[in-house]
Amino acid sequence: MTPDREPGRLRSAEVPAAFDTAARGYDRLVGANPGYHEHLRMSARRLGLPAQGAGLRLLDLGCGTGASTAALLDAAPRAEIVAVDASAGMLDVAKAKSWPASVRFVHARAEELAEKLPPAGVTGQFDAVFAAYLVRNLPDPDAGLRTMFELLRPGATLAVHDYSVADSARARAVWTAVSWGVIIPSGAVVTRSSALYRYLWRSVLGFDGARQFRRRLEGAGFVDAREATVPGWQRGIVHTWVARRPAPHAAEPAARAPDPPAG
């Protein structure tokens, strides 16, 4: 039996519940990944937020246990941050950490934001959206990107941080070797199940290439889409895409999304 035909394989709609189960050991697993937190901070900085985020309201969509929230807070310590995740278990771990009053958490799926944010006291649009390791896991990535587009004020910027290996045979080979040599067995030891980590391996292999994802962003209405990777063993595997919701008046465009550094 090949690994991708194993019984009990997760579907994308089942991923939030799987993260509930894995939440308690999740930080230990990602903490063993060299560069994991620095790469998140790198992607958050690529949003190019001015004045340490003073006066801005930011959305961390798919915040998990708060690693991406911490990265966004590092990039914009003076901003208001709304952090959202579909997994109640991951949010419980995130909320148990120490945060300034400017950070709050909301339990919601990406497709439910229009219904879930107003009851949580969150209305209006955001000055930037950060989505780390999220779009690949959505049942409908295009619908998710359209939601992010609507949540951004005109001229504001989206940064997506995720794995993408479709453009490179080397990246696919490295990803599979690390997945089956390290990630899947480690996940099985820590959480007593390898299902979520086998799903991770498959989902990355099946996700867009970097160029294809830029086209997906453009299809959702974003402009000035740019992509950059990260240093280290994950070069060509982990990427940042930065794009902008266009301003309403072409004659007075907002500053375009900054080109991510080659990093």
CATH number at residue 145: 3.40.50.150
Residue span of the structural domain in which 45 resides: 33-165+208-244
Structural domain includes residue 103: yes
What number is the average pLDDT over the span 132-154? Answer: 96
Q: What is the pLDDT of residues 53-111, one digit of tens each?
A: 999 999 999 999 999 999 999 999 999 999 999 999 999 999 999 999 999 999 999 98
Distance in angstroms (rounded) separating the CA atoms of residues 213 and 207 = 9
Q: What DSSP string describes 247-262? A: PS-TTSPPPPPPPPP-
Structural domain includes residue 250: no
Q: Which residues contact 249 (CB under 8 A, 6 or more apart)?
A: none
Local confidence band at 160 (pLDDT 50, 70, 90 cut-offs): very high
Structural domain includes residue 53: yes
Structural domain includes residue 216: yes
Structural domain includes residue 87: yes
The domain total for the chain is: 1
Structural domain includes residue 4: no
More confident residue, 47 or 30: 47
Structural domain includes residue 121: yes
Is-above-0.95 flag for pTM? Answer: no
Structural domain includes residue 198: no
Q: What is residue 10's DSSP assignment?
A: P
pLDDT over threshold 70, residue 237: yes
